[in-house]
Amino acid sequence: MYRTHTCGELRISNINQTVTLAGWVQRSRKMGAMTFVDLRDRYGITQLVFNEEVNADLCERANHLGREYVVQVTGIVNERFSKNKNIPTGDIEIIVSELNVLNTSLVPPFTIEDNTDGGDDLRMKYRYLDLRRTAVRKNLELRHKMTIEVRKYLDSKGFIEVETPILVGSTPEGARDFVVPSRMNPGQFYALPQSPQTLKQLLMVSGFDRYFQIAKCFRDEDLRADRQPEFTQIDCEMSFVEQDDVINLFEGMAKYLFKEIRGVELTEPFLRMPWADAMKYYGSDKPDLRFGMKFVELMDVLKGYGFSVFDNAAYIGGICAEGAAHYTRKQLDALTDFVKKPQIGAKGMVYARVEADGNVKSSVDKFYTQEVLQRMKDAFGAKPGDLILILSGDDAMKTRKQLCELRLEMGNQLGLRDKNKFALLWVVDFPMFEWSDEENRLMAMHHPFTHPKNEDIPLLDTDPAAVRADAYDMVCNGVELGGGSIRIHDAQLQAKMFEILGFTPERAQEQFGFLMNAFKYGAPPHGGLAYGLDRWVSIFAGLDSIRDCIAFPKNNSGRDVMLDAPSALEPKQLDELCLTVAEKKA
């Protein structure tokens, strides 16, 4: 047997026992006649002791152990003289009597420690080494525990886990598909699922009533910190439900996970915020409510006093940063540069400090009397020591998004975005449609199977852009953890939806006829939700990116630098698939 115990198992109660351990050499240090080696496995670290005066040959062999050598040792558990309170095995050590090198190792390209010297690209290339680091391994252990608790919760609520196909048909609506050529059907392609959306709806038509799946999904999109080309959803669907039924059940799941995983008891109902309010007051459909700085519109206060930037604006709005009046001119100039970055796009920023005496000192003082500036101060409810920051523009939605970025930046600078604090809410009443300049038509904001609010259905014929959806997103700390909707279950309403989206009856039948036909066979009212497992784990682990809670993630270009994928196919493979590859034009 390779081991009797793991490297994280032994305690004071095991003193004088003869044990066998196996693992990787974390580090070694020679101190006089003694050599100390830290042996690591998935479970922890145990200190090994080799004594030159007791066994010189064994100690000499230990002195030649390199980092990440795989070794097996046998010895007696001894109480440590110099205890290490930072590890669970820190009270003991092993006085080694036998050493067996199971495998040697090259010098690793970076240190296998929590604070490694490896950059992102290097660690991604050698991900199998990066996964040996305790910090990364703990993220995957957390992910494992979450999937167990998710299954326990949903099973207790009567859900059945069903696996749906990975090879499906392409649906051009929504994000771009990854496509897979079929050798047996030349010139035809499968797609990898962006979500099991239509399939889980068909399960409701089948009478399964409550379905879930921890599902792999794929989207060929530009990447960012909370997005990967392949990701994992906690995908759920329920029959005979309304919006409140779905929200209440999955709010219960969120509270259950916080309690079981983080030990946090959430007792209050989550806030429900209409999408229109989220955009008006925070410039985002996923507002971070760990701190205030709610937007205040200033059109009626600051317009018409000769400052052309404001006088010609379609929107003027600002935030109040409590206690930030100490910001220097250099810091304020840096904030102005921040909002003027191309990815944010503001033309400038106006600031105003509330002085100790209550007077307001502004960067546009020459245009405004103290009386006007006091009205502005009152609009924010600002106090002495507060800092007011104002943006304006000729597009209200665009300017609010710029103000959102400024608000988040101030939250970061003032230390208000504590990763150990959680602010959860539901954003509800989303618009059914959004206009696409690229497509020159209305597009479904979520997907074409979302049910409109019953009271807005008459507007489908007269003002579809005003229609609200029975859709809902759960947000935590400015991150969308998941979302869903009540679905259309009526074939005629589904056909109407496709018509508004610009589908001809023939195209709708060609792409979604299977679903519309299924609705004619007694489809129940149904709805559901999909949580992003990767995002849940990253929130609980306090990560800024989802990459470190995925075993083998892609980089920011969507590449697997370890496997060197994607890659070109051999000519023989292309011939079998009846494919030719054209060079992309510059």
Q: How far apart are the first and last CA of the chain?
A: 61
Q: What is the DSSP letter of 519?
A: G
DSSP percent split of the chain into helix, strand, coil, nearest 5: 30, 25, 40
pLDDT in tens, the chain (586 residues): 899 999 999 999 999 999 999 999 999 999 999 999 999 999 999 999 999 999 999 999 999 999 999 999 999 999 999 999 999 999 999 999 999 999 999 999 999 998 898 888 899 999 999 999 999 999 999 999 999 999 999 999 999 999 999 999 987 666 789 999 999 999 999 999 999 999 999 999 999 999 999 999 999 987 776 789 999 999 999 999 999 999 999 999 999 999 999 999 999 999 999 999 999 999 999 999 999 999 999 999 999 999 999 999 999 999 999 999 999 999 999 999 999 999 999 999 999 999 999 999 999 999 999 999 999 999 999 999 999 999 999 999 999 999 999 999 999 999 999 999 999 999 999 999 998 888 888 889 988 999 999 999 999 999 999 999 999 999 999 999 999 999 999 999 999 999 999 889 999 998 899 999 999 999 999 999 999 999 999 999 999 889 989 999 998 888 999 999 999 999 999 999 999 998 887 6
Architecture of domain 137-272+424-571: 2-Layer Sandwich (3.30)
Q: Tell me, what's the pLDDT at 171?
A: 76
- Other beta carbons within 10 Å of 176: 14
C-alpha separations of 411 from 135, 320, 414, 416 in Å: 27, 11, 5, 5
pTM: 0.92
Superfamily assignment of 12-103 in CATH? Nucleic acid-binding proteins (2.40.50.140)
- Alpha carbons within 13 angstroms on the beta-carbon side of residue 285 total 18
Q: Tell me, what's the pLDDT at 584?
A: 80
Sheet holding 230-239, edge to edge: 160-161, 210-218, 230-239, 526-532, 479-486, 471-476, 424-428, 271-274
CATH 3.30.1360.30 fits 291-413, yes or no: yes
Question: Can you list the alpha helix ranges (DSSP code H) found in 393-473?
Answer: 396-413, 459-462
Domain ranges within the chain, ordered by starting residue: 12-103, 137-272+424-571, 291-413
Q: Is 138 helix (H, G, I), strand (E, B) or coil?
A: helix
Neighbouring-strand partners of residue 472: 428, 484
